[in-house]
Structure 1
Amino acid sequence: MSIIQELQWRGLIHQCTDLDAVTKQLESPTVVYAGFDPTADSLHLGHLLPLTLLRRFQRAGHKPIALVGGATGMIGDPSGKSDERNLLSKEQLASNVDAIRSQMTKFLDFDGESSARLVNNFDWMHSFSYLDFLRDVGKNFPVNVMLSKDSVKSRLERTDSGLSYTEFSYMLLQAYDFVYLAKNMDCRMQLGGSDQWGNITAGIDLGRRMLGKQLFGLTNPLLTTSDGRKMGKTERGAVWLSAERTSPYEFYQYFINVADADVLTVMRFLSDIPHEEYLQIESELASKPGEAQRRLAQSVTQIVHGIEGLESAQRASQILFGGEIDRLSDHELLSIFQDVPSSTLQKATLAAGLGIIDALVAAGLAPSKSEARRSIEGGGVYINNRRCPGIDKTLGVDDLASESVIVLRSGKKKYALLRFE
């Protein structure tokens, strides 16, 4: 299966400049790129689609370039935005670029035969003077073409917030990125979400004017739910690709909870699940409820967090069904039990030995010592999901489930955490 055939069955081609010409171009190894603006110190779920797209091209023998927009990030892309972005400081942008550069290495192979490249457009933009940029680039940009782009028109038509000259200039900067990569790295194709079509075609037009080269563009659909909402948001905020911002467990659970109406689309877009297995899952969607979500969560979590992250997420998921709690960090444990009440005690209390009856009262799982005693004698008290052996049990350092937390449970589902500082 060629890369175009794979993208077609996965539904990943939204727009393409010339499908026949692109198909012919991709018969031989081709340099392709996608850009990522460093608006935070981590990429989020919305970035995963272009990242996995670059990954698919690399696996098909093509050479991907991941561009981190150290320069364009100073401006802010107006595409898909109703209001102007707040501009970040140069120091914050530089820090974000470094963090994202490190993150990219998990998704692309930078050492193999079709080795990927990581570039920062600040490296070629920072030495451009304003006058030089206007002379060399701006003169090749018809304003009427810029005004016709949807990303510009939608903002100009608003009466409450227009479009600043700064954001209006963004298209020129991104278009020049494509020209620079075409000239210096023989890049022939730009990839991006469907909201990037105007920027991509602007770069193709600029490449024709400045270099006389035929360049290509391909966009993917945006990652949305069946009712049109963007995916990647939870009540707690964005789903990040950084384990520090969104733990592997939270990431895994996000996909476990994808609706049946969306699970097959998300599976095609983001997972590594091959065509034949996908067809099998599709045929069993109604007869095996939850299986498609489990397989999706498994595949995507392994792509983002590796096998260790996946195993950690699966262990954490088993905990909620009564699995024993061990080999977890405070961060992982607290992300699993983020809605569970907790109490904090001094670590010296634990070192001296804390009776289980006192622990239950301190954790709020029993209103009194007599009630705690009855729960223990009835066999309904658990320490890290292991049944408490009796009322004489004393908690010590060896009972910690992570660096500083013990998990107590009364009955089947009533949890509380004891944290020791």
Structure 2
Amino acid sequence: MNQTVVNTTNAFRPKSEALQLLIDRGFMHQTTDLEALDAKMVEGPITAYAGFDATADSLHVGHLLPLMAMRWMQKLGHKPILLVGGGTTRIGDPSFRTESRPMLDDTQIAHNLAGISKTVERLFDLSEGEGRIVNNAEWLDEFRFLEFLRDFGSNFTVNRMLTFDSVRSRLEAQQPLTVLEFCYMMLQAVDFVELSKRFDCSLQIGGSDQWGNIVNGVDLGRRAGKQLFGLTLPLLTTAGGSKMGKTAQGAVWLNSDRLTVFGFWQFWRNTADADVARFMKLFTDLPLSEINRLAELKGAEMNEAKKILATQVTGIVHGLDAAQSAMEQGEALFAGNVESSEPTHVMPLARLATRIGLLELMVDTGFANSNSEARRLVRSGAVRINNTLVMEEDRAISEGDISAGDRLVIAVGKRRKALIAFK
């Protein structure tokens, strides 16, 4: 199988507008056969899919990269399938994990699928003939075990499966890998072939950690007489080397009932200078010429570029009105206009009577993962309440800290602020 590693300096220049755009904006990592895929896309629109298991009731920033790649594909005339894993969620993908996923029951999976659909429906045109959400339980639930082994088992060898990095890393770390998880890559390969049969889907897009699973699907399709393609996206890290989308409070969720719209906006507003242009290319619809112009800004002007980044991404994920409100809320809060700002967090007034501690409050607002982490931030002189530096670790919040009627401002460093209303 021809496996092509692609980067922006590759001598091959696709004729397909969509593939060239994905390269120019930084989406491309590997493809199974770039030239053949390019030729197919030049012939006419293709159908592509990206898959998401229902392990939570919201997708997060880590999922936004394949979603944006698929969104650009649709903008340029191709058809997206968003595959939700109602079936595979019961198994669990072992890719680069150190332990098995917790098993979810059908009720929890159904709840999670509904939350994921809310996100996807905002990002794509899912009208008839334009795009669709598909649940792999439609066919996986129909398989009987012996029939599945008979029809597909001979197409997979344990020898080859053991060569994939996602499996080998678990075994080398002497972490258990269950038969359920080992079968996951077979199920994902079957998904690809089923989507090909049902919807003429010929391309799977996924993260770089999915390369082995995607190649399995391409190979299974070849055995069935179908030409399928895989395209993986780069592993996103910040300029500081940390994994993109990881914060002290955990994942950056795409649904507002998991993370407020302002919290989402503020995450992007706090992007490091060195990451602004790259994230604009990947997570906004701004033209490259405008991104290149904004990338040249320095000092205080770069802060304006960060606001544009935050508002653009928030507009795509939550809608333009919500993004505009979040931007106005951020500007008012950082300008000190507490009275005119919408609160970022609302807590029961009764909590003040129980002497809520500063450390506890920092954990509740997501500024720290634990009391010990909050304590380190206080000791470092990073924490302010109502613009006053706080150095006492055992500091309690009282009614005397409340200003503007019912509000308190807590800040960690220069970039992170929360306006807490007690009602």
| TM-score interval, smaller chain | 0.7 to 0.9
Deviation, structure 1 residue 285: 4.3
Q: Do 1:175 and 1:202's aligned partners in 2 also have CA atoms closer than 8 Å?
A: yes
Shift in Å at residue 158 of structure 1?
A: 2.0
The offset of 1:343, in angstroms, is 3.7
- How has the CA–CA distance of structure 1 residues 129 and 264 changed in structure 2, closer, same or farther, with 3 Å as cutoff? same
CA contact (8 A) 2:47 2:81 kept: yes
Q: Secondary structure at the match of 1:288?
A: helix
> Structure 1's 415 and 304: CA in aligned 2 closer, same or farther, altered over 3 A?
closer
Alignment partner, residue 419 of structure 1: 422
Normalized against structure 2, the TM-score is what? Answer: 0.78
What's the counterpart of residue 128 of structure 1?
143
Percent sequence identity is 46
Residues 54 and 287 of structure 1: CA distance in aligned 2, closer, same or farther (over 3 Å): same
Of residues 62-71 and 13-22 in structure 1, the stretch that sits farther from structure 2 once superposed is: 13-22
- 1:79-109 per-residue CA deviation (whole Å, 9 max, x = no partner) reads 1212221111222112111221232100110
Report the CA distance between 1:24 and its aligned residue. Answer: 1.2
1:401-416 alignment runs, 5 A limit: 406-407=406-407
Q: From 299, 314, 317, give the equivalent of 2:330.
A: 317
Measure, in 2, the Cα distance between the counterparts of 1:142 and 1:7. 33
Q: 1:344 to 1:52 in 2, by over 3 A?
A: farther
Q: Which residue of 2 aligns with 1:363?
A: 399
Aligned twin of 1:140:
155
Structure 1 Cα separation of the partners of residues 292 and 141 of structure 2: 49
> What is the number of equivalent residue pairs in this alignment?
357
* Alpha-carbon separation, structure 1, partners of 2:418 and 2:34: 56
Q: Secondary structure at the match of 2:231?
A: strand
Give the drift of 1:18: 1.4
Say which of 404, 408, 413 aligns to 1:383. 404
Per-residue CA deviation, residues 232-276 of structure 1 (Å, 9 max, x unaligned), is 122222110011111111101101111112222222211111111
| 1: CA distance, partners of 2:187 / 2:238 | 31
Q: Secondary structure at the match of 1:12?
A: coil
**Residues 71 and 125, structure 1, Cα contact 8 Å, conserved in 2:** yes
User: Is the 2:79–2:130 contact (alpha carbons within 8 Å) kept by the matching residues of 1?
Assistant: yes
| RMSD, matched Cα | 2.7
Aligned partner of 1:174: which letter? Q
* Alignment correspondent of 1:351: none
Is the 2:85–2:137 contact (alpha carbons within 8 Å) kept by the matching residues of 1? yes
Residue in structure 2 matched with residue 51 of structure 1 by the alignment: 67
Q: How does 1:149-160 map to 2 (within 5 A)?
A: 149-159=164-174
The aligned residue for residue 276 of structure 2 is 263
Q: Which residue does 1:374 correspond to in 2?
A: none
Displacement, 1:78? 0.8
- Give the Cα–Cα distance (whole angstroms) in 1 for the partners of residues 273 and 135 of structure 2: 39
Q: Is the 8 A contact 1:363 1:416 kept in 2?
A: no
Q: How many angstroms does 1:39 deviate by?
A: 0.4
- Residue by residue over 1:173-213, the C-alpha shift from the partner in whole angstroms, topping out at 9 and shown as x without a partner, is 0000000001111000000011111000000000111x211
Mapped to 1, the partners of 2:421 and 2:164 lie a distance apart of: 57
- Secondary structure (helix, strand or coil) at the match of 1:189 reads strand
Between the aligned partners of 1:273 and 1:68, the Cα distance in structure 2 is 28
Instruction: Give, in whole Å, the separation in 2 of the partners of 1:198 and 1:417.
Output: 46
The answer on 1:194 being equivalent to 2:208 is yes
Letter of the structure 2 residue corresponding to residue 49 of structure 1: L
Cα drift, residue 5 of structure 1: 1.4
* TM-score, normalised with respect to structure 1: 0.79
